[in-house]
Each structure stands twice: as C-alpha cells, then as structure tokens.
Amino acid sequence: DWSVQATVSLMLSQNLGDQNISIVAEEDSHTLSNPESSALLLTVVNAVNGCLSEAPRFGLQGPNKALGSSQILDAISKCNSNGGPSGRHWVLDPVDGTLGFVRGDQYAIALAMIEDGEVVLGVLGCPNYPVKDDALNMCGQRGHDVRCELPPREGGCVMYTQKHISKAWMQPLIHPDKRLEWPNSAKLIRVSSIDDPAQATFCEPVESNNSDHSFAAGVANNAGIRKKPLRVHSMVKYGAIARGEAEIYMKFARAGYKEKIWDHATGVLLVQEAGGVVTDAGGRPLDFSRGIYLESMDRGLIACCGSRLHQKIIAAVYASWDSSHL
C-alpha cells in the first residue's frame, strides 16, 4: 500500500507539473517514520525506485536518480487531502482488497479524479482479473469466493473511463518486456443486457465484518435472484459489471460502518459510463462531495447493469427492509 501510494503520488506530481496537487488516499507515513520500521521503510523505498525506473515504458518521465527515504515519506505524506465539494482532488486506493492481495485472490489499484464534488475520471487496475471473456466465472472457486489461478505470464487488465462520454475501455496490463503502444489492444466494454433477476449474476464482498450477507440474501430472494452470490474482493466487483460479466453488486453496511470514497469512486464511474446504474439502497446517487466518507448513504449501495434491473432490486430492498422490521 505504501509503495503504490508513494509511486502514484510522485508520478502525478512530476507528470502534471504540480507539486501541490490534492490527493485523498488511504495510507499515512506515521508507522514508516518510526525508527523501528527502518527495515520496512527500506523495502518500500526499493520497491518504489524499482517501479519508477519503469516509467519510460509507459511514456512517462521518472526521476533522474533513485529517491531516498525522506523523499518517499514525503510523497506518502502529501496524500493528506480530505476532498470536499470544490476543487480538484485525486482519490487513490493503493491496494483495494488487501486480504485478496495477500491470499492471491482479486485486488485492485484504483485512482479517480473528483472535480467540484463529482467523479470525472476513473482508472482501475486489476492484476488478477484476465481480459478473457467470462474470466470471473472461469476463475477457480473456493466455496462462493472467487479466486484466480493465473497461468504463467498471463496478466490482468486495466479499465478506465471519463464522465459524460458513455464509454469505458479495458486493456491488458503491459507485458514486462514490452512498452505501452496505443491503443494497446484496448477495447470498449459494456454492461450486460440482462434485466431478469433470475438470470442475473450477483456479486457481494467476501468479508462479512462490514457487509450484511444475511440481509443481502433476503433481498436476493425477494428479487428472484436464483444464482448463488459471487463473493469477490475489491472493486473488481464493479469492473465485472462494467464489462458485462455480472449484473448486480449489493453491499449493505453493518451498523456504525461508514463507506469511504476511495473504495467506490472509480468503480461507480466505470459502471455508469459503461451503461449501468449505481445508487444507495434508497435509490439516490452517491455523494462524493462530503469528504472522505460517503455521508448520508441510505442502508447500502446497489450497482446494476441497467435501470430496469436496478428498479427491481431497489423494490426488493424496501420489501426486505419492511419484513425485517415487522
């Protein structure tokens, strides 16, 4: 997480020509700054310098020489913005789905740009999510949890979009011995056309500590969803809907849990520009203008491949809510 955050912070500052850009991100440098963390800091410094040395392969300018620990710590510390309703803010989740990363499952690197409270740009790197069709369902399964055992030399994908263009793209990650060459096998992605819950594939988080699986199961039953849920780490769930491999993503937070903007900004925009719909569980748009949290969110969030299916899921939420509070 620290290495990715430092790398993205440095590359944004250097290539956008602005050393004072606003970045909202998950990590801080306090732990790394402690004397007892010197070995860990050295590992981070080496990882960042190794990554930055690859910048020319992507048409980017890296530093002229290896960076020291103070420069790396400074890059991490610069990601201290709280966002808000005005101005431009980059939003970064350096490793979304850390448990998935540790397990060799799905994880993502997510970067979004928010202008005056609206998400306007999103990039989602998914190293364990191949570009092949139906990759999520073809991945090896452990229970209902999705895990990909990638063949040697086969990589994942990166998806990206921009607000108000109604288009999103996907391309394979750059092979280690190649350079970025546009269009680099980029292709348009689009949400599924399925609007029947009985045929829909439903995604939810793997962990139940901040997501109410039992309520989601009730909603699925009331909506007529027949398939068992695919439990997937990270914003790969949003990516699966954007590229048409799943139709529904539901998450209902447990009491006291507040969703953070870096866990959703990129994924929400991807789904919307690929033709889908994302709201809270009451049917209202998500508000990214209130700082690092998605404030005033009604019960949870619903992402669907289209408006007709979305309306059916929202209706099932209300029916399930009413029956659970009788």
Residues in the chain: 326
Known binding-site positions for Mg(2+): 26, 93, 96, 263
Q: Indicate the pTM of the whole model.
A: 0.94
Cα–Cα distances (Å) from 243 to 21, 102, 304, in that order, read 31, 25, 12
116 counts as catalytic: no
Q: How many CB atoms lie within 10 A of CB 180?
A: 12
Model pLDDT, residue 177: 81
Q: How far apart are CA 157 and CA 149, in angstroms?
A: 15
| Domains with residue ranges and CATH for the chain | 1-80 (no CATH), 197-324 (3.40.190.80)
Looking at residue 307, the DSSP 8-state letter turns out to be H
pLDDT in tens, the chain (326 residues): 999 999 999 999 988 877 679 999 989 999 999 999 999 999 999 999 999 999 999 988 888 999 999 999 999 999 999 999 999 999 999 999 999 999 989 999 999 999 999 999 999 999 999 998 877 776 644 445 665 555 544 679 999 999 999 999 999 998 878 888 877 789 999 999 999 999 999 999 998 888 999 999 999 999 999 999 999 999 999 999 999 999 999 999 888 889 999 999 999 999 999 999 999 999 999 999 999 999 989 999 999 999 999 999 999 999 998 776 64
Q: Is the peptide bond before 35 cis (omega within 30 degrees of 0)?
A: no
List strand residue ranges (DSSP E) for the chain, in order: 23-25, 88-96, 108-115, 118-126, 141-142, 145-146, 157-162, 168-172, 187-189, 202-204, 230-231, 248-252, 277-280, 300-304
1 counts as catalytic: yes
SS3 content of the chain, % helix, strand, coil (to 5): 35, 20, 45
Closest CA to 308 of 267, 236, 247: 247
Give me the amino acid identity at 35: P
Catalytic residue among 28, 98, 195, 287: 98
Known binding-site positions: 26, 93, 96, 263
Q: How far apart are CA 111 and CA 8, in angstroms?
A: 9
Catalytic residue among 1, 145, 212, 280: 1
